[in-house]
Amino acid sequence: MHRSGTAMAWNVFKFCTALRGLGSIMILLVLGVVGVTYYAVVLTNYGPALSQGGFDSLSALTILLLFHFLLAMLLWSYFSVVFTDPGSVPPNWRPSTDEERGESDPLNSLEFDNSNPRVRFCRKCNQPKPSRCHHCSVCGRCVLKMDHHCVWVVNCVGALNYKYFLLFLLYTFLETTLVTLVLMPHFIAFFSDEEIPGTPGTLATTFLAFVLNLAFALSVMGFLIMHISLVAGNTTTIEAYEKKTSGKWRYDLGRKKNFEQVFGMDKRYWFIPGYSEEDLRRMPELQGLEYPSKPDFDSQ
């Protein structure tokens, strides 16, 4: 029994170490897909069409403007997730009086302090942790409102960068869908008897870009739908898994307030990776340490 437990711990350690090692490789992979796509759309197919004049030139200009706008928003959101700390427990943090009352529906009883069963405690970090905070074995620390560790962004997705991650998914889906649609006529031409203009290299790049963007569009669409449902219920991926057998969720305040807890109240900032200073000042939940709950739960 002891050996099996040790072996399992060692396997988890090796898995986490492997995920850390993927860091720069995943970023280069993302940039590689962007590069192939840019070459196929801008340099090979629609850039040269700008000089043709007439409707073809106007159509190419519209596609290129939309392509570059979505690409800029995608990269902005992506690197915001990569370089933004998801949120860590401040040194010497202690729960407030309200938090000491504890949660009426704890997700994991093993996370609570034996001396005070109403205070959540991380045995790996050896410190108390706020509500909705979880320990990441890859990062080796507790992350505020942790959703998951994402190898694509080489970072944890938590309280401080979850909005940026959602925007990254949104703009990736829109960009890859656009590329799939504009390259589809060129892809279909591969299977026709007509002669296709271009060198073997440009044709292969167009084919590869179409396949890659179609695959990403379909896969990201699934993740986007899942996370939209999580935001609507004010739940993270970890919480959704852990509370399958529980009843009501204390943090579900209604779709509008749930949405605002992630994207803020200022509509001007909803679709950019950032928050207004006013939202940061008036919404403590954006900092990841305090979250309002339903009045019926607070009264318990």
Q: Which tens digit of pLDDT belongs to each residue from 191-231?
A: 887 777 778 888 999 999 999 999 999 999 999 999 999 99
Residue 125 lies in a domain: no
- Residue 153 pLDDT: 92
In a domain, 81, yes or no: yes
Q: What is the pTM of this model?
A: 0.86
**pLDDT-wise least confident of 5-14, 30-39, 185-194:** 5-14
> Could you tell me where the DSSP H helices lie in the chain?
2-21, 23-38, 54-83, 97-100, 162-189, 200-232, 237-242, 255-263, 277-282, 295-298
Among 33-47, 61-75, 93-107, the least confident range: 93-107
SS3 51: helix
Place of tokens 């909803």: 270
Confirm whether 145 is domain-assigned.
no
Give the phi and the psi of residue 158 in degrees, each rounded to 5.
-140, -155
For residues 133-161, one letter each, b for 16 or more C-beta atoms within 10 angstroms of the residue's C-beta and e for the rest, the string is bbbbebbeebbbbbbbbbbbbbbbbbbbb
In-domain check, residue 224: yes
In this predicted structure, the answer to whether residue 12 has a pLDDT above a threshold of 50 is: no
Residues of the domain holding 255: 11-85+162-295
**Confidence band for 296, pLDDT divided at 50, 70 and 90:** low
Quick one: pLDDT band at residue 101, thresholds 50, 70, 90? very low
Classify residue 3: in a domain, yes or no: no
Q: Which helix (H) or strand (E) holds 300?
A: none
- Indicate whether 108 belongs to any domain: no
> 63, 183 in Cβ contact below 8 A?
no
Q: How far apart are CA 26 and CA 21, in angstroms?
A: 10
What integer pLDDT is reported at residue 200 of this predicted model?
83
In a domain, 153, yes or no: no
**Band (51; pLDDT cuts 50, 70, 90):** confident
Is residue 14's pLDDT more than 60? no
Q: Smallest Cα–Cα separation from 262: which of 129, 171, 164?
A: 164
Token pair 């990569």 is found at: 82
- CA gap 89, 121 in Å, rounded: 12
**142 assigned to active site:** no
Residue scoring higher pLDDT (298 or 175): 175
118 part of a folded domain: no
- Hunting for tokens 């589809």 — which residue is that? 184
| Catalytic hit among 133, 139, 150, 156 | 150
- Total residues found in the chain within this entry: 300
pLDDT in tens, 143-200: 999 999 998 999 999 999 999 999 999 999 999 999 999 999 989 988 887 777 778 8
pLDDT at 223: 95
Q: Distances in Å between the alpha carbon of 288 and those of 105, 108, 161, 220, 236? A: 19, 19, 10, 26, 13
Task: Say how many domains are in the chain.
Answer: 1
